[in-house]
Structure formats: C-alpha cells, structure tokens
Amino acid sequence: MRATTLLSRHALLLASGLLLSCQLLAAEAGWRQLRIPGATPDAAPTVVALYYPTQAAPRTTAMGPFTVRAAIQAPPDEKFKGLILLSHGLAGTELGHNSLAEALARAGYLVAALRHPGDNWQDGSLLKQGGAAYFGERPRQASHVIDALLQDPQWKDRIARDDQGPRIGAVGHSAGGYTVLALAGAQADLSRIAAHCASERAADPIFCGVGRDDGTAATPAAPTAPSASLLPSLRDPRVRAVVAMAPAGVPFTAASLARVRVPTRIYEAEQDRFLVPRFHAEWIARNMPSAELRRIPNAWHFAFMDTPSMPIQTPDGDIAADPPGFDRQALLARLGREVPAFFDEALPKSPAP
C-alpha cells in the first residue's frame, strides 16, 4: 500500500513537471517585417509581415488602424511546424488578419503575410491592368514569397520538412481566398466573369462593379479574345493545404475545382454582400469534392478581419461594421483555434528521410 502511494506521488510529480515544462516552452508570437526584392529587376519589392513562435513576451503595438500583439524583433524558436502563406483581400494590408496570424504563430507556425504589390491600401494599380494581370499576378506574388523564404538562411532551416518537402499551407480572405485556391490548382477563366456579370449584375453588384467608376461593366475586365480568357494554371505544388475565407469564386472553372486534391476548408460569410456566397464560396464548394464548407451565420464579408480602430470605407461600407448581434471577436477567437488545428491535421507529420 505504501509503495503504491509513493508511486502515485512520483507519477503526480512527474506529470506536474512535464506540464510545467510544456507551459515554460509554450510559444508566444514574434513579429518582424521583411522586404523581398521583386521577381524581376523592374518589379516592386514585396513587404511581408512575419509572425513566428518565440519565447519572448509579447506587447501590444498599434500599427496604423490595426494592432499587433507580439514580441517585435524577438528571436525565433529553433523549429517551426511549417510555413503558412497569408494573402489579404482587394486593396488590403498584411496587418488585417493579425489575430489569426498570431494564433498560428503561437501554435508553432511561421506565417508570411504579404502586402500584394499593386493591390494594397496604398497602390491599386494591378486592378487597372485588367483581369489577366490581376488574377495572374496575385498567385505569382505569393509563390515568390515562398521562394524567398525557402532560400533565406534566417528562416529556411527552421521550417519543418517531411518526405514531401517543406510543410507549407496558405490562408486567404476575399481576393486572397482566390489567391490561395489558385495556388492549390484552381484555374481562372476570365470569360466566366463577363458572362456572370452580364446575367447576375443586380444580384452580385459589388463584385461586378469594383474597379469601374461607372459600375456598369464586369470587373476586372475580361479580354474579348476567347484564346486569352483561360489563364494558365498557377498551381504551386509546395502548397499542401489551404483555407479560403469568403473567397472570390466566380473566375474558377468547375473542371479545375474538381481537380484540386489538397485539403481545403472554405469559410462562408452567410450575409456576404461583397462576394455573394451562392456565386462564390458555394460555387467553389459545389465543384470541389475535397473542400469542407463552414458557413458563419449572420456574418458580413469583413467579419474575418481584425476590427480596425478607425473607419475604413469600402464599396460595402465600413470594414469595422457588423450586422446587429454579430460577435466578431468570438469568430476571430474561433478561427484562432480552428485554423491552426486544420493545418496540424492537413499537413503530414511524417519525418524526412
């Protein structure tokens, strides 16, 4: 009896010690800014916000209308679970999804949130170049960031690898949702935009009016030549799991969606007026057998973004606005749990040979 009691006490002390060790090693979020040179000599550099696990204590820092809760310039942990590329929406910012990026960093991931050159809050020139440029360049920009980080001596050896290579996922919102799905293999046909907006402009007015002062034509404009309408595949085989939040889906062909095989989760904002779900998120989910659709009741389009400290106007009103009774902070906390868990499950854990 006494021996059993001693063993029980020893087991309890051991468990307590292990729990304490895990608590001491629990990661916080670190933050740094990186500038990546353009892919060509005349291309603009890409600004990237890096979020990563660290043992340093975080602090709250206001960065424009958004707030970062991380240890600025802190030393990173030696190893990360993987790399997650984060793509913002139309005219957005790399800081618009801080809470999600920080949650992924605390869960052990390196997060690279890029500011899309030519499509951010400071520069809208990419949209003016037409649909081929807009829907082609965004995924290329994301792949360029992955290229740079996998070559950077500061970060490349910290990213976990398995028998398939580096463990890489991607998450995006709105046009960023389009971007990460294109990385997964979905392919855009710009003639679909013209046909959609010719028949459904009244039902999907913001998507069909964005980028045009008169709001009368499909945007981004589709080319008239049939041979120019189907964009080449921009699949990046290194991206092995994606999360798309309120994604732009009209441009994608049904056939290409059906060919996507990487684990995919789609979050739909039920009351989305910017990208009406039945044309966008639900079109993707209907045609992608591998996709899991999660509908967020009573949510507007910008529910997946952090709430800014000042009004930011869009064609759908203020980014900070929510429908009566909607709890954005509860959704962001939910995403902070669900998205890291999704990548933990979706990215293989087998060790590299």
| HEC profile of 270-314 | CCCCCCCCCCCHHHHHHHCCCEEEEEECCCCHHHHCCCCCCCCEE
Q: Which long-range contacts (C-beta less than 8 Å, at least 24 apart) are formed by 193-198?
A: 193/131, 193/218, 193/219, 193/220, 193/222, 193/250, 193/251, 194/218, 194/222, 196/250, 196/279
The answer to whether residue 241 scores a pLDDT higher than 90 is yes
Whether the Cβ atoms of residue 76 and residue 111 lie closer than 8 Å to each other: no
The answer to whether residue 263 scores a pLDDT higher than 90 is yes
- Residue 206: CB atoms within 10 A of its CB come to 17
Whether the Cβ atoms of residue 267 and residue 244 lie closer than 8 Å to each other: yes
Grade residue 348 by pLDDT with cuts at 50, 70 and 90.
confident
- What tokens were used for 245? 């939040």
Strands 317-318 and 313-314, by their bridges, are antiparallel
Looking at residue 16, what is its pLDDT? 41
CB-based burial, 265-288: b 16+ in 10 Å, e otherwise: bbbbbebbbbbbbebbbbbbbebb
The answer to whether residue 149 scores a pLDDT higher than 80 is yes
- What tokens were used for 236? 């990046």
Dihedral sign of CA atoms 168, 169, 172, 178 in order? positive
Q: For residues 103 and 334, what is the distance between their CA atoms, to the nearest angstrom?
A: 10
The answer to whether residue 8 scores a pLDDT higher than 60 is no
Whether the Cβ atoms of residue 268 and residue 246 lie closer than 8 Å to each other: yes
- Residue 293: CB atoms within 10 A of its CB come to 16
What domains can you pick out in the chain, each with its CATH number? Answer: 27-191+232-346 (3.40.50.1820)
Q: For residues 140 and 265, what is the distance between their CA atoms, to the nearest angstrom?
A: 22
Cβ contacts of residue 228 below 8 Å, gap of 6+? 132, 190
Cβ contacts of residue 161 below 8 Å, gap of 6+? 167, 352
Q: What does 57-68 look like in DSSP terms, one character per residue?
A: PPEEEEETTEEE
Residue range 184-189: mean pLDDT, rounded:
98
Grade residue 347 by pLDDT with cuts at 50, 70 and 90.
very high
| Whole-prediction pTM | 0.89
Lowest mean pLDDT among 19-33, 194-208, 296-310: 19-33
| Phi, psi (deg, nearest 5) at residue 51 | -120, 135
Whether the Cβ atoms of residue 194 and residue 222 lie closer than 8 Å to each other: yes
Of the CA atoms within 13 Å of residue 90, those in its CB half-sphere come to: 24
Looking at residue 39, what is its pLDDT? 82
Per the model's pLDDT, the better-predicted residue between 4 and 102 turns out to be 102
Q: What percent of the chain has pLDDT over 90?
A: 83
